[in-house]
Structure 1
Amino acid sequence: MASPTKPLLHHYFRSSCSGRVRIALNWKEINYDTRHILLLKGEQHASDYLAKNPSGLVPTLEIDGHVIPQSMAILEYLEDAYPDTPTLLPGDAAQRAKARAIAQVIASDIQPAQNMTVTNHIKDVIDAKPWNRRVIDQGFEKVEKMLQLSAGKYCVGDQVSVADVCLVPQVWNAIR
């Protein structure tokens, strides 16, 4: 199999979804280029970006003529396309499932509720900050219980996994 071309990551520096992908690319030692999408300036709604990613969200990865949106899909792609780099999935099927489950709680339960699109929409109805805090706190309580069942040195056992890659940027967002 030929080596993939150098990836181009479209991202925003404060996006936890983008952070997941940056961490994974660096963990896997994949050399990549970046294009900063300034969300506060609305660059995600520019026609050239929407042509690549109709959802208008970050991140988006371009590689080998393919355009891959959504951080979780990108992480799976990196695992498949770069099998000879450090893995984000434990070797044991049960451990892989635990890592994916933790990652999904973060990606599906916590992150969407504090996403800029959501908070900008609800701020006209309620005070978004306390609502965000509650959603994040409840999500982290779930994650903590899951970690009690699976943690070692890292989220799942003693190797970095997709769970860690998702957790770290979400903690950054919680601190903000």
Structure 2
Amino acid sequence: MQLHSFFNSSTSYRVRIALALKGLAYDTLPVNIRVGEHRAADYVANVNPSATVPALIDGDFRLGQSLAIIDYLDQTYPEPRLIPLEPAVRARVLELSTLIACDIHPVNNLRVLRYLETELQVTPQQKTAWYRHWVAQGMAGVERLLERSNHGPWCLGAQPTLADVSLVPQIANALRMDCDLSAYPRSLAVYEHASAHPAFAAAEPQRQPDYVA
């Protein structure tokens, strides 16, 4: 199994966590999105038509998009399951995960931030304000969902799920961007708990072979 990944990509981070939780061995194939390697013709044609990371190769099967990859891993390597089977629990996990993956991440990823700078000519201060605004909007929703769920040490119970796999990279990115997360104590408690777990620790950006300080 191979994973095309960038160390600081939160979507790649999600898949690395899932692979580590499932104990699946894989080779990392770094793709430097800062210099546009994800847009190289060969990569788009032969690895990931969406011109993004991550991309998983499992035998002859190739797949992009982190949530699709994790769902594939759950179906193919079901232990431990990250997207529960019981309908109500599954729906809660997907509710929280997609809030992060669809409402926070897309407006704050690298290509959007670069577009703000290069095409719209926003100032660094305006770009930072943009990032922090959408983090605050999204994390407030996450916090309310966690309050409703009466979560345990993880987002939704006693075991990590896709919700935790999605939340931890988002918080890591927010901390890297100096966002004030003090208003989200439940989210931070999950993050701290997860950070002590070997699978989450192994997936951290600074532990990846392409890491650059």
Which shifted more, 28-37 or 123-132?
123-132
Aligned partner (choices 22, 25, 41) of residue 47 of structure 1: 41
Which residue in the other structure is 2:197 paired with? none
Q: How far did residue 95 of structure 1 move?
A: 1.2
Contact 2:71 2:83 in 1 (8 A): no
Deviations, residues 87-133 of structure 1 (Å, cap 9, x unaligned): 11235321111011100000000000111111111123432111010
**Which residue of the partner structure matches residue 20 of structure 2?**
26
Match of 2:67 in 1: 72
Give the conservation status (yes or no) of the 8 Å contact 2:4–2:29.
Answer: yes
| C-alpha contact 1:8 1:61 (8 A) present in aligned 2 | yes
SS in structure 2 opposite 1:130?
helix
Instruction: Give, as a single letter, the amino acid of the residue that structure 2 aligns with 1:137.
Output: A
CA RMSD of aligned residues (A): 1.1
What residue identity is the alignment partner of 2:15?
V
Aligned-partner Cα distance in 2 for 1:105–1:156: 15
* Percent identity (aligned): 42
Could you tell me which residue of structure 1 aligns to residue 164 of structure 2? 164
**Cα distance in 1 between the residues matched to 2:153 and 2:84:** 13
Moved more, 21-30 or 146-155: 146-155
In 2, Cα distance between the equivalents of 1:91 and 1:62?
25
Corresponding residue number in structure 1 for 2:193: none
Aligned-pair CA distance for 1:21: 0.1
1-side partners of 2:11 and 2:76: how far apart?
A: 20
Take 2:87 and 2:159, find their aligned partners in 1: how far apart are those partners? 14
Per the TM alignment, residue 80 of structure 1 is displaced from its structure 2 partner at its CA by: 0.4
Q: Structure 1 residue 142: deviation in Å? A: 0.3
- Residue 156 of structure 1 aligns to a residue in which SS? coil
- TM-score (normalizing by structure 1): 0.92
What amino acid does structure 2 have at the position aligned with 1:173? N
User: Are the aligned partners of 1:90 and 1:159 in contact in 2 as well (CA < 8 Å)?
Assistant: no
Q: Residue 114 of structure 2: SS of its match in structure 1? A: helix
2: CA distance between counterparts of 1:32 and 1:168? 21
- Counterpart contact for 2:57–2:63, Cα < 8 Å: yes
Deviation at 1:141, TM superposition (A): 0.3
Residue deviations 1:20-46 (CA, integer Å, cap 9, x gap): 000000001111111010111211111
1:86 counterpart letter in structure 2: P
Match of 2:83 in 1: 89
Gaps of 5+ in 2: 177-213
Partners of 1:133 and 1:145 lie apart in 2 by 18
Structure 2 partner of 1:3:
none
